[in-house]
Each structure stands twice: as C-alpha cells, then as structure tokens.
C-alpha cells in the first residue's frame, strides 16, 4: 500500500470528521434518506483506507449525535441497523487491515445488543496498529465534559479541578487531540463535536457531501492543513 509523500510534520496525527450530508445526497437523487446513510457507511471504509495511506494515526468520525434521537424513528432504526450490519460483517476486514476500532459516547441509551457488538469489536481489534478509528455514537461534546466531571466526583475527588484532571477522565483520554477537524456538506459549525479536544484544532469546511468525500477531497484538506502555522495561542517572533 503506497504512502503519502509529505513530510511527517505536514501530516496530522489525528483527523476528526463531521460526516454530514447523507440525507441531502439521497434527496438530490430522489432516494430515501436511508440510502444516503448506506452510501455514507460505504464511504467510511473508503476514507479509512485513504487515511491509512496518508499515515494518519487516529481518525474520529461523528456517526450519531445525542441530538440525532430527535430524527424520525424509522431513520433512527435504520441507522442502528446499519451499525449492527457493519460491526458484524466488517470485523474480519478491520482485523485484516490492522484497524483498531474504539467507540465514544453514552452507551447506556443504545440497544444492548449493539453495545455488546461494540464491546466485542473493541476487544477483537485492540492489538491492531495501522490506524485507530474512533466512532462517535450517541456522542455530544458538552455531555462528554459533564460525564468527565461527574466521573471524577463519583470517585471521591474533592479538590480543585484542573484541565489535566478533567482531560484524564474524558472518553478517550489516551487519544491525542485532533490536529484537523473536517466538516462536509457546507455547514460551518462544530455541532457539539469534540468541543474540549478541538480547542486548538485547525478547521476545514467543504461543500462536498459526505458520500462524495473521496480520497482526493481528503488530500485537499491535508494540503490545507500543511499550509497552516499552528501557534497554540502564542505569538510568532519576528
């Protein structure tokens, strides 16, 4: 598998993507919304392969937010069915291609059988090293911060809170903050995605709908990132 020719300094270690536009992709083709989600799920596979070729180490994907429960029930059931299908039938491919899969979000509201599948996939792929993919399901950035603080309190902590302490209790505290956050479909907002972790992330917005976000589009985002100067709040000396 060929790799990206860029220097390591130009390549973000962690890319996070708000996968938006499945419904509009389907509607523009006079297809049901679920067809758009199905095509979007196929594109996840393509983008993971492209990320591996680009030497990206971590890829976070916003699959289902805490607000998505407000969608029509048939659409929600269809999405849950898609999750079940891919976790069941794509596990061999994940293992073969060295993909480690993790999940972030509040699992309690998800169906028990789906949570069991998620736990199995995490365990079965735990030793894979090509790339770590974090699927954010029933995820909300504000909710993650609340859960982190509550977890610390439940453990009996009564001292002064610090950024380091809160960070250590986040869903995937061992994963580095995203260097680059991408949103597809033309919307220009974070929509409650990785609010804590994206404080100093570079942001890239594209009008391309998620099912059409191909490897060439990913390379455009990476080229944009390589041209940015990351200062983390500091001022460059002249």
How confident is the model over 100-149, as pLDDT tens digits?
999 999 999 999 999 999 999 999 999 999 999 999 999 999 999 999 99
pLDDT at 197 over 80: yes
Would you tell me which CATH number, out of the four given (3.60.15.10, 3.20.20.410, 3.40.1180.10, 1.25.40.340), belongs to the domain 11-141+177-226? 3.40.1180.10
Work out whether the CA dihedral 165, 167, 171, 174 comes out positive or negative.
negative
Q: What is the pLDDT of residue 2?
A: 46
Q: What is the pLDDT of residue 234?
A: 63
Give the Cα-Cα-Cα angle 218, 221, 222 (nearest 5 degrees).
90
Spans of all domains in the chain: 11-141+177-226
Of 1-10, 66-75, 141-150, 226-235, which gets the smallest average pLDDT?
A: 1-10
Q: What is the pLDDT of residue 229?
A: 77
d(CA 91, CA 97): 10
Q: What is the pLDDT of residue 7?
A: 53
Hey, what's the torsion of the CAs at 154, 115, 50, 62, to 10 degrees?
-60
Q: What is the pLDDT of residue 10?
A: 85
pLDDT tens track for 92-104:
999 999 999 999 9
Residue 134 near residue 103, CB atoms below 8 Å: yes
User: How many other CB atoms are there within 10 angstroms of residue 63's CB atom?
Assistant: 24
Residues classed as catalytic:
20, 68
> Residue 59: in which H helix or E strand, if any?
strand 58-65
pLDDT tens track for 60-86:
999 999 999 999 999 999 999 999 999
Select the more confidently predicted residue: 72 or 233: 72
pLDDT at 238 over 50: no
d(CA 236, CA 71): 46
Q: What is the pLDDT of residue 166?
A: 96
d(CA 196, CA 173): 11
């Amino acid at each position: 598998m060929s790799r990206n020719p860029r220097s390591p300094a130009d390549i973000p270690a962690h890319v996070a993507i708000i996968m938006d536009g499945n419904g509009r992709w389907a509607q523009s083709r006079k297809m049901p919304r679920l067809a758009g989600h199905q095509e979007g799920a196929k594109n996840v596979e393509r983008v993971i392969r492209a990320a591996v070729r680009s030497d990206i180490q971590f890829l976070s994907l916003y699959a289902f937010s805490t607000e998505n429960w407000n969608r029509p029930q048939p659409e929600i059931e269809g999405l849950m069915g898609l999750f079940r299908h891919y976790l069941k039938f794509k596990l061999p491919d994940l293992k073969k291609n060295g993909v480690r899969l993790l999940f972030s979000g509040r699992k309690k509201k998800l169906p028990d059988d789906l949570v069991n599948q998620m736990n199995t996939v995490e365990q079965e792929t735990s030793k894979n090293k090509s790339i770590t993919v974090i699927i954010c399901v029933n995820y909300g950035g504000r909710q993650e911060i609340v859960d982190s603080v509550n977890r610390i309190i439940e453990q009996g902590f009564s001292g002064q809170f610090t950024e380091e302490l809160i960070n250590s209790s986040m869903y995937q505290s061992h994963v580095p903050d995203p260097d680059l956050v991408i949103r597809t479909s033309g919307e220009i907002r974070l929509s409650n995605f990785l609010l804590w972790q994206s404080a100093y992330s570079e942001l890239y917005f594209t009008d391309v709908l998620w099912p059409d976000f191909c490897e060439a589009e990913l390379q455009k985002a990476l080229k944009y990132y390589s041209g940015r100067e990351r200062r983390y709040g500091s001022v460059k000396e002249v």
